[in-house]
């Protein structure tokens, strides 16, 4: 009996010891498995990936077109509709033969400063045009401008005076209106002047534009040779404002040739081809339009588009009207929209109008007609 009891005790002891050892071995194995899990089988949710910066989101690029309006120095700056334009150009600063510049009296300076303040309050760029057709000291501006840019010293002086004016009066740029270079020498000197002024202005993030003759004879439809430009100079400008009007003087006085649509087509084609041949961007080109009417009787003064619409609002869509005992030719709303589309179809950078003081207010204004057409094209940069 004792032997059986001893044997049973031994067997139980062996079983207990075996279980204990197995438990230890199993526990060690679990620890090793846990180590392996941590090293080789880390759950993905525990991984901390490298943080990368999100790509910067940018607005889709949009072709920007301009709507430029000139305003004469004697005008009340409040005549300008700053809500629909991108640039306003004060006309004029007058060049002197020694390279100095002058404004036409204190009223002009006051108007300039008011214009700049008004423009900037509407996020519109304010510029000053130098030159023009008539000089404040009498006669054409040509002789003064020619002398100023023909001599290196006076040319540099003119550049310095214009850049100083731009800084002092908080201008956004300068517009060159040399009417008009009449020789190869004129063209070369204008190119040198443009380059020098461009370098100064662009270094200060200011703009440089240039007003140019249409170069197309309104009657013959041919390219005129008495006005000479060097296309090289256009690479230094931001905008080239084509004065596609005043054709009434070509081939004798004919008021109907002021700025008819067929003439504008020829002008647009000429400048488009010129820029493409010279590998210049057509987006620099800006098509100019008139906001005034020319009378058949040259002894009668021209009238503004505003006066024509004031006479009868129905005149807004016409191009010819009877007033003051004569017939007037002009560009109404319909023609203005067609011209804007023509410019955009040829890749032009926008439109220009001479000048704000001739336009009417409200939806019948030529400014509104151009603006609405630009907006419809979805290519207009609105700065408001």
Please check the confidence at residue 214 and state whether its pLDDT lies above 90.
yes
Domains along the sequence of the chain with CATH: 66-291+331-377 (3.20.20.80)
pLDDT tens across 367-379, in order?
999 999 999 986 5
CA 39 from centroid of its chain's CA atoms? 63
Where does residue 254 fall: left (phi above 0), alpha (psi -120 to 50 degrees), or beta otherwise? beta
Tell me which DSSP letter residue 227 carries. Answer: S
Tokens encoding 85 = 């334009």
| Range 192-197 average pLDDT | 98
Q: Assess whether pLDDT exceeds 90 at residue 310.
A: yes
**How far apart are the C-alpha atoms of 234 and 209, rounded to whole Å?**
9
Which segments of the chain are extended strands (E)?
A: 66-72, 87-95, 101-102, 125-132, 173-178, 207-213, 239-243, 285-290, 292-295, 303-304, 320-323, 326-329, 350-354
pLDDT at 55: 40
pLDDT tens-digit map of 13-28? 444 555 444 444 444 4
Range from 8-17, 71-80, 130-139, 336-345 carrying the lowest mean pLDDT: 8-17
Pick the residue with more confidence: 172 or 29?
172
pTM: 0.83
Which residues make beta-bridge pairs with 240? Answer: 210, 285
Dump pLDDT digits (tens) for 100-148: 999 999 999 999 999 999 999 999 999 999 999 999 999 999 999 999 9
Higher-confidence position of 351 and 51: 351
Average pLDDT, the chain: 87
Give per-residue pLDDT as tens, 252-273: 999 999 999 999 999 999 999 9
Contact, 354 vs 290, CB < 8 A?
yes
| DSSP assignment of 57-110 | P-PPP---BEEEEEEETTS-GGGS-TTS-SEEEEEEEEE-TTS-EE-SHHHHHH
Instruction: Return d(Cα 198, Cα 192) in angstroms, integer.
Output: 10
């Amino acid at each position: 009996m004792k032997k059986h009891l001893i044997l049973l005790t031994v067997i139980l002891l062996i079983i207990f010891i075996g279980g204990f050892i197995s438990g230890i071995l199993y526990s060690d194995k679990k620890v090793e498995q846990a180590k392996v899990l941590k090293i080789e089988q880390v759950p993905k949710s525990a991984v901390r990936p490298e943080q990368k910066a999100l790509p910067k989101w940018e607005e889709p690029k949009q072709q920007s077109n301009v709507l430029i309006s000139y305003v004469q120095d004697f005008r009340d700056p409040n005549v300008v509709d700053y809500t629909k334009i991108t640039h306003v150009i004060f006309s004029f600063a007058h060049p002197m033969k020694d390279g100095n510049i002058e404004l036409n009296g204190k009223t002009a300076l006051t108007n300039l400063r008011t214009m700049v303040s008004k423009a900037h309050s509407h996020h519109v760029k304010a510029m000053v045009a130098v030159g023009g057709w008539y000089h404040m000291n009498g006669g054409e501006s040509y002789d003064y401008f020619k002398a100023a840019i023909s001599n290196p010293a006076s040319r540099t002086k003119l550049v310095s005076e214009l850049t100083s004016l731009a800084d002092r009066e908080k201008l956004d740029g300068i517009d060159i209106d040399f009417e008009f270079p009449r020789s190869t020498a004129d063209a070369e000197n204008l190119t040198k002047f443009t380059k020098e002024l461009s370098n100064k202005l662009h270094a200060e993030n200011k703009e440089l534009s240039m007003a140019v003759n249409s170069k197309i004879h309104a009657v013959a439809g041919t390219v005129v040779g008495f006005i000479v430009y060097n296309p090289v100079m256009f690479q230094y400008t931001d905008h080239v404002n084509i004065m596609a009007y005043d054709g009434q003087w070509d081939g004798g006085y004919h008021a109907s040739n002021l700025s008819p649509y067929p003439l504008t087509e020829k002008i647009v084609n000429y400048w488009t081809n010129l820029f493409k041949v010279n590998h210049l961007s057509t987006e620099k080109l800006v098509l100019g339009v008139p906001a005034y009417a020319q009378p058949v009787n040259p002894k009668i003064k021209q009238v503004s588009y505003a006066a024509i619409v004031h006479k009868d609002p129905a005149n807004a869509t016409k191009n010819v009207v009877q007033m003051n005992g004569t017939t007037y030719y002009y560009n109404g709303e319909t023609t203005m929209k067609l011209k804007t589309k023509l410019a955009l179809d040829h890749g032009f950078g926008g439109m220009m109008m001479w000048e704000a003081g001739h336009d009417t207010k409200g939806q019948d204004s030529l400014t509104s007609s151009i603006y609405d057409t630009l907006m419809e094209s979805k290519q207009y940069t609105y700065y408001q």
